Structure 1
Amino acid sequence: MLDRLPMILSAVLILLTLTFIVAYVSIDEETETTWEHHESVEAAGWNPDQLIQARNYYESINSTALMVIYQGKILLSWGDVTSNTNAHSIRKSFLSALYGIEIEQGTFSLDDSLRDFEIEEEPPLSGLEMRAQLEHLMSSTSGVYLPAGEESWNMRQARPARGTRIPGSYYYYNNWDFNVLGTIYNQETNRDLFEDFTERIAEPLGMEDFNLGNTQYKFENRRSLHPSYLFRMSARDFARFGQLYLQKGVWDNEQIVPEDWVELSTQPHAEVTSNNIFDYGYLWWSAIGGIYEELGMFSAVGRYGQSIEVIPEMDLVFVHRVDSNHHSFSMARDSVNDLQRLQLLQLILDGKKSE
């Protein structure tokens, strides 16, 4: 028996190592959830060794949570996936979904203009600016170049001079467009976009952490009459929203967001000359080149490293979070840039075994 002890210990060590690898690359914390889990990454057709490389890279940058949903089940869940933190510009894709519902019902038309909506601003809009249509606001091509709430320094520096572009002719990532869409939605529906999101999307999807208390209008009247509409949401509820779009707007056999709108809004509608990976859709980013275009990827992207990547050709949703609410967060040091996020995504995609 003693002469077999080294062999037995070696076998135990291998088993423990394999168990650690599976745990390390898959689930950080066993929290109660209605999401189903894959039995293991290997059983789901993924290479644990490659996913360890991805995990090590994740640990080396400033990510605070990550989820990968593959074939409708959790493949990877790292970090704190349950805390509701600032969604930043992911909020815009949430609003796009609500507009899709209302456009199908005839409340809006994409060629409705700011004049039709009698939009006011201080200083007042010019006749040219009032010609901007709903589709221009959604594709960030309105040509209205005025201060807006929640603008970053880079956005302010990049803003073109007022009156230099015809509506629909030029892309500039414009919080004025996005915030006015919130005003128009509430004004024309005579409802509240936060309440509608909660009742029409969050509750049907069974979001586990989000509630109406995780929303806020932020008024910055010295910049604009139109407030920002802010969301806080967890990584696992981000994943539900991404899965809804992966399923073409269907959840539990119910069409939550019109399928035609999911298709239309995630296609490119504005060329982004400064970006060789994405063009802009209707409050979504659409991959335009290389492997990501081949995979049909479209994304909701927010400041500091927030993202929901939907990859139809792999039946996969990738969610990345950076908690900018944390007391120790520093904009300069703790954000994850687009290249880092996409490098992490690529490391994970490389882990899929050939079939």
Structure 2
Amino acid sequence: MTFPGAEWEWMTDAAEYGWSEEGLQDARDLTNELHTSAVMIIHNGKVVDAWGDLEYKYRCHSLRKSFLSALYGIHIENGTISLDATMEDLGIDDNEALSELEKQATVQMLLQARSGIYHPALFETAAMTAAKPERHSVAPGELYHYNNWDFNALGTIYEQETGEAIHQSFMDRIAIPIGMQDYVPEDGSYVTGEESQHAAYPFVLSTRDLARFGHLFLNDGVWNGERVLPEGWVEESTAVHSVLVEERPDRGGYGYMWWVEVDGQHFGSVDRVPEGTYTARGARGHVLAVVPNLDLVFVHRTNTAVSGQRTTYDDIGRVFKLVVNSLNR
């Protein structure tokens, strides 16, 4: 397996590695019909093809959650944070106090989006707010529900328990070890407000740096022989903890703040994706897909800082499938 140095290495002739130039062109042509800003395709650690601005730091939206999941793995391994710690153990509360039942939610349940804590949350859409179940409608751990309260509270817990700011920690523990070319801690920020004590923690990140993050996961958290993430964390965090095929065929399943393929389901418009595929996703057009069976990393970005720029997950799935089908297996 190849790892990039200061720069990504490109395949000199992708066809020699089993790639169809016609198939890749079909993928490129489809993105020309969409609001795609950048695409990057990595196979065995080398760039197969890429187009758009790979250096521009696009908004990440909910990709941030998968970044934090990776950081959690490091501190769970070293004992700083326990998956079994409850909100009560950690002293976590909010403007409207958590009930005794809600306080029994664990760190693991938050990572799985199964806390059962349905309080107001920052950085969520109107649709997310409207879809939130009634408070106390389920006990902690009983129900998966994509919930920004969980994800934001995990940010609070991380900084409280480690003493590290999320964006600096990402720099020190991930970006530097894997040689990210563009990221600096100032590319992160916080969203605060009256709705909740728990801030959101947005990132901006370049496409080529996001591809490095995917390549780290493809290699089980090891980068060029050096272990960056604990052994077993990639497998555990990208395992299926909740099956969502019936209610969310465009997702498949959910791990620890990662979306995971189930029975070939992962993008609503695509019949089947390779077994074991998992993705980090950000609203309106951001996908990092890792396909371990093919040693493949796929990145799609949309410049969502521009009003009206949006690419649906269905359309990204169509691009992804064209890319996958371009590799002769």
Does residue 320 of structure 2 align to residue 345 of structure 1? Answer: yes
Identical counterparts, % of pairs: 39
Q: Give the alignment's TM-score, normalised by structure 2.
A: 0.93
Does residue 276 of structure 2 align to residue 296 of structure 1? Answer: yes
Task: Select which of 286, 297, 302 maps to 1:317.
Answer: 297
Match of 1:141 in 2: 114
For 1:348 and 1:270, locate their aligned partners in 2 and report how far apart those are by CA, in whole Å: 27
Amino acid at match of 1:343: R
Q: How is 1:38-117 mapped onto 2 (pairs within 5 angstroms)?
A: 38-117=11-90
Amino acid at match of 2:75: E
**Maintained 8 Å contact 2:285/2:304:** no
Q: Which runs of 5+ in 1 are unaligned?
A: 1-31
Does residue 311 of structure 2 align to residue 336 of structure 1? Answer: yes
Deviations 1:153-178 (A, max 9, x none): 21011101111111011111100000
For 1:205 and 1:33, locate their aligned partners in 2 and report how far apart those are by CA, in whole Å: 10
For 1:325 and 1:241, locate their aligned partners in 2 and report how far apart those are by CA, in whole Å: 22
Q: Which runs of 5+ in 2 are unaligned?
A: 266-271
For 2:106 and 2:75, locate their aligned partners in 1 and report how far apart those are by CA, in whole Å: 16
Amino acid at match of 2:317: L
For 2:322 and 2:243, locate their aligned partners in 1 and report how far apart those are by CA, in whole Å: 28
**Maintained 8 Å contact 1:122/1:224:** yes
Q: Give the alignment's TM-score, normalised by structure 1.
A: 0.87
Structure 1 residue 85: Cα displacement: 1.4
Moved more, 294-303 or 232-241: 294-303
For 1:293 and 1:118, locate their aligned partners in 2 and report how far apart those are by CA, in whole Å: 42
Amino acid at match of 1:308: L
Structure 1 residue 49: Cα displacement: 1.2
Determine helix, strand or coil for the equivalent of 1:318: strand
Higher helix share: 1
**Maintained 8 Å contact 2:36/2:301:** yes
For 1:145 and 1:50, locate their aligned partners in 2 and report how far apart those are by CA, in whole Å: 45
Determine helix, strand or coil for the equivalent of 1:289: coil
Larger Rg: 1
**Maintained 8 Å contact 1:66/1:320:** yes
Structure 1 residue 33: Cα displacement: 6.1
Determine helix, strand or coil for the equivalent of 1:227: strand
Amino acid at match of 2:25: I
Amino acid at match of 1:100: G
Determine helix, strand or coil for the equivalent of 2:173: helix
Does residue 246 of structure 2 align to residue 271 of structure 1? Answer: no
Structure 1 residue 293: Cα displacement: 6.3
4+ residue segments displaced more than 6 Å: none
Deviations 1:254-280 (A, max 9, x none): 110112111000001123242124211
For 2:24 and 2:177, locate their aligned partners in 1 and report how far apart those are by CA, in whole Å: 32
